[in-house]
């Protein structure tokens, strides 16, 4: 049985969502992302591309390159809602699928040709998504994930492309080596220094040469250039860590503000652990100074999800870390080494009143939102909520730093 892997990608997803909400934005240059001085472009419309704008760049620079563009602050809850609508349609239509990101999906249609026709079925599913959600979507269909993903990129905008078995190499050959997944800016520069600009050149090279230059990644790129690499679909994403960061609009040295933000981050992440029935045994704090030097510290602790255990440790780490007394640009908190389980009561330190308080606060948060109740020490921090369950099996929401 021939493999038939479908790759679906919602075109300029955040922009398309904003245009669904406000039809006046149709055909207009549009930038979605952070609107502050340090905002980043999460998505940009095709009308802005000819000015050199791309996702991941500074919003300030993008606004200078395309001054007539409309700038909208990103809203993750809206994008999550539309993403769920698409996910539900795909879930109904295919037996095995992988949600690679908020706007990107893989589906295994192997065996469909025998009964219906994989390409015909994929076309009908794409038309259903467009009709029911109003969102433009492209797809690529081939024998593996890598070729299908590249095919989707070539099909855009709002189109579809099938690469038949045996035609993978001729399809990939004339493309830029940058089109191969896993070729980032540094790898691309290394390959350009070797005189490699097209996939065709890699196809003509022995795998040993690529391995000698780029190591294991070189072998992966060689296989993908030949259309051979076939990673499996991952229906469920198991989270190995959860984290949150905050970049301040202005660099600050206000220790009270910094500690309040760190406190609120730790409180919110601890709630996420309890909501997902998870425990963490490694916690870390990260700070980035105004000169962009970044430092972090982590410690191992007994498995826990309790605020009164985690928050003091986090604040202690911050106090040890913040020694330079320079302006701080960014702070972050991360919990890792996660396992499934519930908090084990400490017979000597924990009281029934405290455990009941946790339960009551978590019940209120689940019902009315994560910001509906907070400890007084975190009241000064702004919008530290995650607004989605990080343990629902879906990949993290990416709001920026992803080239589209």
Closest CA to 381 of 242, 245, 243: 245
Phi, psi of 288 (to 5 degrees): -125, 120
Q: Is 104 a catalytic site residue?
A: yes
- Greatest CA separation for the chain: 71
Enter the DSSP assignment of 40. B
**Taking CA 91 as the corner, what is the angle to CA 89 and CA 93, rounded to the nearest 5 degrees?**
70
Compute the distance between CA of residue 113 and CA of residue 118 in angstroms, rounded to an integer: 5
By DSSP bridging, strand 70-73 and strand 30-33 are parallel
> Under a CB-based contact definition with an 8 Å cutoff, are residues 102 and 17 in contact?
no
Phi, psi of 34 (to 5 degrees): -75, 140
> Under a CB-based contact definition with an 8 Å cutoff, are residues 32 and 135 in contact?
no
> Under a CB-based contact definition with an 8 Å cutoff, are residues 369 and 385 in contact?
yes
* Residue 9, marked binder: yes
Mention every residue, 6+ apart, whose C-beta is less than 8 A from residue 124. none
Active-site position among 104, 267, 370, 394: 104
Compute the distance between CA of residue 51 and CA of residue 61 in angstroms, rounded to an integer: 11
Instruction: Please identify every residue annotated as catalytic.
Output: 104
- Residues within the annotated binding site? 9, 103
- Residues within the annotated binding site for Mg(2+)? 9, 103
């Amino acid at each position: 049985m021939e493999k038939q892997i479908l790759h679906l990608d919602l075109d300029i997803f955040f922009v398309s969502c904003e245009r669904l909400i406000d039809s006046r934005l149709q055909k207009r240059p549009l930038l979605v992302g952070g609107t502050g001085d340090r905002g980043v472009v999460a998505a940009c419309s095709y009308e802005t591309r000819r000015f050199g704008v791309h996702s991941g760049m500074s919003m300030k620079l993008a606004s200078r390159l395309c001054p007539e563009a409309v700038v909208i602050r990103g809203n993750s809850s809206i994008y999550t809602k539309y993403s769920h609508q698409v996910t539900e349609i795909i879930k109904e239509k295919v037996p095995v699928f992988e949600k690679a990101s908020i706007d990107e999906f893989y589906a295994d249609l192997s065996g469909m040709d025998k009964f219906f026709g994989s390409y015909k079925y994929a076309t009908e599913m794409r038309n259903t998504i467009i009709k029911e959600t109003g969102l433009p979507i492209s797809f690529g269909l081939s024998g593996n994930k890598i070729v299908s993903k590249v095919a989707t990129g070539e099909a855009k905008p709002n189109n579809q492309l099938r690469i038949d078995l045996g035609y993978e190499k001729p399809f990939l050959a004339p493309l830029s080596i940058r089109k191969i997944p896993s070729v980032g800016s540094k790898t691309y520069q290394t390959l350009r220094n070797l005189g490699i600009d097209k996939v065709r050149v890699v196809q003509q090279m022995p795998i040993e040469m690529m391995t000698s230059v780029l190591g294991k990644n070189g072998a992966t790129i060689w296989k993908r250039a030949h259309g051979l690499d076939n990673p499996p679909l991952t229906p469920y994403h198991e989270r190995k860590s959860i984290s949150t960061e905050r970049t301040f609009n202005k660099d600050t040295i206000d220790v009270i503000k910094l500690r309040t933000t760190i406190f609120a981050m730790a409180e919110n992440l601890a709630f996420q652990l309890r909501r997902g029935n998870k425990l963490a045994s490694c916690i870390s704090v990260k700070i980035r100074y105004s000169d962009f030097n970044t430092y972090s510290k982590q410690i191992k602790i007994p498995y826990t999800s309790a605020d009164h255990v985690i928050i003091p440790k986090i604040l202690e780490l911050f106090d040890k870390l913040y020694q330079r007394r320079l302006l701080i640009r960014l702070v972050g908190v991360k919990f890792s080494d996660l396992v499934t389980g519930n908090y084990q009561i400490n017979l000597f330190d924990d009281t029934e009143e405290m455990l009941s308080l946790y339960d009551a606060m978590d019940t209120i948060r689940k019902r009315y939102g994560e910001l509906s109740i907070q400890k007084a020490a975190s009241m000064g921090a702004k919008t530290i909520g995650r607004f989605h369950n990080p343990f629902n099996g879906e990949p993290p929401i990416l709001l920026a730093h992803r080239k589209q």
